[in-house]
Amino acid sequence: MIRKDPRKRSRSNSSGQQERRKNEAQGALQSTIGLKDRISSYFSNHCDVASTSFKRMLAAPLVNIMTWAVIAIAIALPVGLFVFLQNVQQLSSGWDNVVQISVYLKPDVSSVRAQALSRKWQQNPDIERVQYISPEQALNEFQQLSGFGEALSYLDENPLPAVIVVHPKTEDSSLLTTKTLLATLQMQPEVEQAKLDLEWVQRLYGIMNLAQRSVIALGFLLSLAVLLVIGNTIRLAIEARRDEIVVVKLVGGTDAFVRRPFLYTGIWYGLGGGIGAWLIINSLLLWLSGPVSSLVGAYSSQFSLSGLGFLDTLALFLVSAALGLTGAWLAVGRHLSSIEPR
Amino acid sequence: MIQLENISKRYQDGYDALKQLNFKLARGDMAFLTGHSGAGKSTLLKLIMLMERPTRGQITVNGQRLNLMKKRQIPYYRRNIGLVFQDHQLLFDRTVYENVALPLIIAGAHTRDIGRRVRAALDKVGLLNKEKMYPIALSGGEQQRIGIARAVVNKPALLLADEPTGNLDPKLSAEIMHLFEQFNQVGVTVLIATHDLSLIARLNHRILTLKNGRMLNDGTQGVFE
């Protein structure tokens, strides 16, 4: 069989000198793998390893689907809460712009005096605009909207005071300037009471701030859980392929070569978990969208649930793949060095 | 090709596997390494493969002093050595072709070269028609020849074998040894650890006999005790 190669036939009966030349030829043969080939084979090896490690996972579907599900749930929890908060934020985003101060005038202030007052306030640089509502207007509005129309007609006199609604300038409607304005208005002799209905918005923002922090903390903890799950899964995969690792090391595989399939496996676990989380969140949104739209309809609002946008989805996939890679890297770093040919 | 100077190897449990061993194997030579089990044959091969480091002494292989070699250089060094195992160490979840191609893939050979070289190696061991089969479907002798094809596919300058005929009957053993002789004839330096004295006595090559970690005899005849 060996004689088929004419180059080698000439060597089979060689003297010492030919022997040496032959060995040099051998050396040359070994180095025929040029740099260009090495680079191109490096990339094709990456593609090969990526697809082989994926196929290897599909070969044991049940176990791997369970692992993917665990990762998906762990990722879906903080991301789902994040989406929920985003929706709440979107719902409440218009509210701080509609800051208004209701100024109730004393009953003895005449309507002429009240209108003069509102014109005077209109000149104030901190005030965007004012709106005068006479007691009669207020009563009309109340009769129409409250449903107490009949009852109100039995009253002898209008119990409602005149109101001037003050809209502060929105560009610098910081809480402090608004509160200063409130105090100024309060001190006017004609004013019975000035009321800023902002506190509950502030409280809502406080709660949302807290919730955001909780989501971050939860996300951190669950990321750690994902790292551990993937790390442990990769550790088992390394154990299962111990013999192969030994052979690869003995025929000259570098640590990077040995590591590569496990790192790709980690990436696939992470990415699969990310896609699973995306599916969970979107099915949840789909399930909730019906009740939400009927609820929102009752408030005659334009709000609709928003899911993960394109960039958010991309970030979700990238972060989960990165988590997988990191988990695999940690496991590989700890366990691969202990496997050496003996 | 291989030069050992005053090599001693003491394992961590205090066992002296090799004691002040000296020998030289010239480029293009073929030699058998023999001795009773525990004489140090495997330890010697492990030192050459850098699976173990000597406690004392110096080893030079292919002009490279192994004492100076750093851990990260070891893979590249090993690519120049073909290693054949007693239990052939094939990967049973891969085809014959994939098994033989492994060293080439590791070394970063181009896909078109891999096919050509794998088939050349399989042709040399006479198993070209079995490339798509899985090793489990092959006989013990065929599995060993796949192991040899994998060892030579990279065209190494040095071929080491650790009891390559340990599990084979005499006829297959003779065939395997003949295969090693053929590689030696094209210039590959061959060192085979074996205890099959009756077989190697007929082959007229250099025989190194170890006993208790020392060189007992170095000649063309094995020493029978």
Residue pLDDT, tens place only, A103-137: 888 888 888 888 888 888 888 887 878 888 888 88
Find, among B35, B36, B34, B40, the residue nearest to B11 by Cα. B40
pLDDT of amino acid A86: 85
User: Which residues are registered as beta bridge partners of B2?
Assistant: B25, B61
Least confident of A295-309, B7-21, B70-84: A295-309
Spatial contact of A230 and A327, defined as CB atoms under 8 Å apart: yes
| Structure-derived torsion over alpha carbons of residues B137, B139, B141, B142, reported in degrees to the nearest 10 | -30
Question: Residue A257 and residue B76: Cβ atoms within 8 Å?
Answer: no
CA end-to-end distance (rounded Å), chain B: 30
Question: Residue B108 and residue A32: Cβ atoms within 8 Å?
Answer: no
Q: Count of A–B CB contacts within 8 Å?
A: 108
State if pTM tops 0.80. no
Residue B120 makes CB contacts below 8 A (sequence gap 6+) with A5, B153
pLDDT of amino acid B223: 59
Q: Which residues of B touch A12 (CB under 8 A)?
A: 185-186
- Find which of A317-326, B61-70, B215-224 is predicted with most confidence, using mean pLDDT: A317-326
Least confident of A175-184, A288-297, B129-138: A175-184
Which amino acid, residue A117? L
Sign of the CA dihedral running B149, B150, B152, B158: negative
In the 8-state DSSP scheme, what is residue B72? G
| Closest chain A residue to B121, measured at CA | A2
Residue B210 distance to chain A (closest CA, Å) = 21
pLDDT level of residue A266 (50, 70, 90 thresholds): very high
Average pLDDT of span A189-215: 81
Judging by DSSP bridges, how do beta strands B16-25 and A163-168 pair with one another?
unpaired
- State how far the Cα of A74 lies from the Cα of A273, in Å rounded to an integer: 9
Side by side, which strands form the sheet with B214-219?
B81-84, B158-162, B189-193, B30-34, B206-211, B214-219
Judging by DSSP bridges, how do beta strands B64-65 and B214-219 pair with one another?
unpaired
Residue A256 distance to chain B (closest CA, Å) = 10
- Candidate from A12, A48, A252 with C-beta closest to B185: A12
**ipTM confidence:** 0.89
pLDDT level of residue A320 (50, 70, 90 thresholds): very high
Judging by DSSP bridges, how do beta strands A101-105 and A163-168 pair with one another?
antiparallel
Q: Which residues of A touch B154 (CB under 8 A)?
A: 30, 251-252
Judging by DSSP bridges, how do beta strands B158-162 and B189-193 pair with one another?
parallel
Side-chain half-sphere exposure of A203, counting CA atoms within 13 A: 4
Residue A341 distance to chain B (closest CA, Å) = 6
Question: Residue B89 and residue A246: Cβ atoms within 8 Å?
Answer: yes
pLDDT level of residue B58 (50, 70, 90 thresholds): very high
pLDDT level of residue A4 (50, 70, 90 thresholds): very low
Chain A, 227 to 246: residues with Cβ < 8 Å from chain B are 243-244, 246
Over 80: is that where the pLDDT of B69 sits? Answer: yes
Structure tokens at B56: 């004392």
| Alpha carbon of residue A228 to chain centroid | 21
Over 70: is that where the pLDDT of A29 sits? Answer: no
Q: Where are the alpha helices (DSSP H) in A32-60?
A: 35-59
pLDDT of amino acid A27: 41
| Closest chain B residue to A10, measured at CA | B186
| Closest chain A residue to B111, measured at CA | A41
- State how far the Cα of A102 lies from the Cα of A191, in Å rounded to an integer: 11
- The percent of residues above 70 in pLDDT, for chain A, comes to 82
Residue A45 distance to chain B (closest CA, Å) = 8
- State how far the Cα of A329 lies from the Cα of A323, in Å rounded to an integer: 10
Judging by DSSP bridges, how do beta strands B30-34 and B189-193 pair with one another?
parallel
